[in-house]
Amino acid sequence: MPASVAIVGTGPSGCYLAQALLKARPDLRVDLIDRLPVPYGLVRYGVAADHQGTKAVTRQFERLFERQGARFIGNLDIGADVTLDDLRGCYDAVVLAAGLSVDRCLQIPGEDLAGVATAGEVIRALNEHPDSKALPPLGRRVVVMGNGNVAIDLVRLLAKSGEELAGTDLGEGPSAWLQSAGVEAIDIIGRSPAAQAKFDPVMVKELHRLAHVRIAVEGAGSTEDAEAQKRLDALAAIDGTTHGDRQLTFRFGLTPLAIEGQDGRVTAARFRDASGVEVTIPCDTVLTAIGFQSCTNLSRDDLLVDALDLDAGVLAAGLYATGWFRRGPRGTIPDNRTDAQVLAARILNDLGETGGKPGLPATEGLVDHAGWKRIDAAELAGARPGRCRRKIADRQTMLEIAQDR
């Protein structure tokens, strides 16, 4: 019997790892497990709807199941439906690639005011994640706290017109939410100097293509570092854009102090600049985009503390971690490919040529790849004009379609 590997999480880190393992050892049994009935995690629910080119990486991942022999096991929550110890008893190697999906909090006064939401919540709701909350009320003057790629995604979507959203997989509700608010101004606030911002320069340059915005960059400063200079160059390239009336303003070096409100609703955000002066920005909506932490039923913090070799992704004998689950919320989707190749080599060396455990037995209520393809076909067939897909956001409906009921 061939050796068996379970990968918990079917986002990019899990899929790239499965690719690397099966390319080197086509005889392996590799099962990709997801707590949702559908695969691809971050690509489906985290990548912005207007970045369909990035989402197209799923076509490459489909070949895992169609040509390379990987199995998809959906609707199985490890840590809730099956314990991690039980899973390890079924496989020769188990890899945790479940990512991080809970937004970090600012931990300042006013975070509980109406009009304050986290970017992760909004992005998941825009992508119609079955567990997402309803989209929050959106005002005309928005402050986005954070300057990573998630923040830039959000700013871009908020600033786009209806015509610019054509070809996306945005549903009717999210499309109406974006277009009905009438956002007039967005302030993008970074705690760090611009040179240390987290965004990809390409993401910032993309803002120049927006049809209806004016863009200003305040206090970008200078740097002697060549890599950081690319971020400053990107900001310089968009500064002064005058394509329309929606005002985007980048501000840096502002430490958030409090979110102020009246009658329970946000009215302003207060900061301290590098010289110690307090700065108040009037607003009716605050969206925070300052990173993520784990939300799975797996005890990530305990597993990392006790890891045998965390840099190599080895948590314990036969137990591994990759992607954001291992290194935290850093790096882009392609960065996971490099991680995967290194970890695959380590796993294959540890497995050696010995025979293996049989993997999970068949369990009622799970979704296999054929079930996912039925969901996929239903979503593609249901796309309305101007959209490439109509996502099914209800878990029970997904399961009924997957099981062909």
CA distance 214 to 97: 40
Annotated binding residue 42: yes
CA distance 210 to 181: 18
Annotated binding residue 147: yes
Annotated binding residue 331: yes
Annotated binding residue 375: no
Q: What does the block give as tokens for 387? A: 């959209």
CA distance 294 to 35: 14
C-alpha pair distances (Å), 184 with each of 49, 125, 180: 21, 22, 12
CA distance 402 to 370: 8
CA distance 405 to 402: 8
Annotated binding residue 132: no
Annotated binding residue 261: no
Cα dihedral value 50, 52, 57, 62, nearest 10: 120
* Sign, CA torsion 157/160/166/167: negative
Q: Which residues contact 264 (CB under 8 A, 6 or more apart)?
A: 113, 114
Q: What does the block give as tokens for 232? A: 């400053």
Helices and strands, counts by H and E, the chain? 15, 17
Annotated binding residue 333: yes
Annotated binding residue 180: no
- The DSSP result for 333-347, as a single string, is TTHHHHHHHHHHHHH
Residues annotated as binding site for NADP(+)?
147-150, 331
Residues annotated as binding site?
13, 42, 78, 147-150, 324, 331-333
